Amino acid sequence: MGGAARLSAPRVLVLWAALGAAVHIGPAPDPEDWWSYKENLQGNFVPGPPFWGLVNAAWSLCAVGKRQSPVDVELKRVLYDPFLPPLRLSTGGEKLRGTLYNTGRHVSFLPAPRPVVNVSGGPLLYSHRLSELRLLFGARDGAGSEHQINHQGFSAEVQLIHFNQELYGNLSAASRGPNGLAILSLFVNVAGNSNSFLSRLLNRDTITRISYKNDAYFLQDLSLELLFPESFGFITYQGSLSTPPCSETVTWILVDRALNITSLQADFLRDVTRTIHIHSQFPTVLLRQMHSLRLLSQNPPSQIFQSLSGNGRPLQPLAHRALRGNRDPRHPERRCRGPNYRLHVDGAPHGR
């Protein structure tokens, strides 16, 4: 695991044959949309990760870049940096609001223009503005995160994508310039309890409103600070976007304490249990399979259902890049204590 895919000559020929066939199928798709995590959608070839760098010259870094993401973080390679300051979140004291959106590739939360949400501190030299919250997840528990820790994946990964608002006017411009982007990643496990912020996003009344591609639902009164653990450390490295154009302008910050979500929402489980009690012919094994996220479709309702799960890029080589952390990996038994291991919200350490 961890190596970037190498293309043999036969695979390249197959690709160009598929591209030639696509020309005769219908109008050319928008190049920005012409990529996928899976190479076959509705019977048509759509370039998957091994081909991203070949189908669009602007995406060449996906194939030849040397600082690509995601990576497998081996803790023995993490350099302890005691001078990394704590992470700071600024919301202006206001609740977050915005649109939850099924993009056909991810579950995305797009914040409204106000309030402006900024992150700073840690390895960041500038203030970065939140542009998107993105959720990636797998078809089975323990596999779904893009990044791994010591060769171990997680069921999901929440990515908070920010752009450098001090140097650039928007995400697009920042993705093309140095020190342009910052992405905070939080890992997610399936457990008996659930993170309160994710519960708001993933409860049954909300998640069923974005069942199909392009479905959207407006949310408000969200407290973003509740997404973060009460105390945590982080690991940082220099990498890239994990989607085309794979720009190598990203400072990644990986929170080292995982969040939890439940396998099934409690109210949904109760309703299904009642149905099964009334109609006893339904096997109880259904309960273990009905994860609300995995029921989201990457297609519109007019097309065959294909689960949104499995929406992550394969691991890329870390090579000689440095991994830095604000916690000493030589002493994992030491708990994160003190203000350096808390999220500072509008200037003060956040505690719950």
CA 190 to chain centroid: 16
DSSP state at residue 317: -
Number of H helices, E strands in the chain: 7, 19
Buried b (16+ CB within 10 A) or exposed e, 98-124: bebbbbbbbbbbebeeebebbbbbbbb
Give me Rg for the CA atoms of the chain: 21
Rounded Cα distance, 251 and 312, in Å: 18
Beta bridge partners of 324: 79, 236
Specify whether the CB–CB gap between 248 and 240 falls below 8 A.
Answer: yes
Which residue has 């600082």 as its token pair? 67
Q: Of 37, 101, 168, 237, which one is the catalytic site residue?
A: 168
The question of whether 168 is a catalytic residue gets the answer yes
* Amino acid code (one letter) for 82: P
Q: Are 56 and 32 in contact (CB under 8 A)?
A: no
328 in Cβ contact with 15 (< 8 Å): no
Running DSSP on this structure, what letter comes out for residue 84? P
Distance of CA 328 to the CA centre of its chain: 26
Q: Which residues contact 49 (CB under 8 A, 6 or more apart)?
A: 5, 37, 62, 313, 314
Matching residue, tokens 């752009």: 163
Catalytic residue IDs: 168
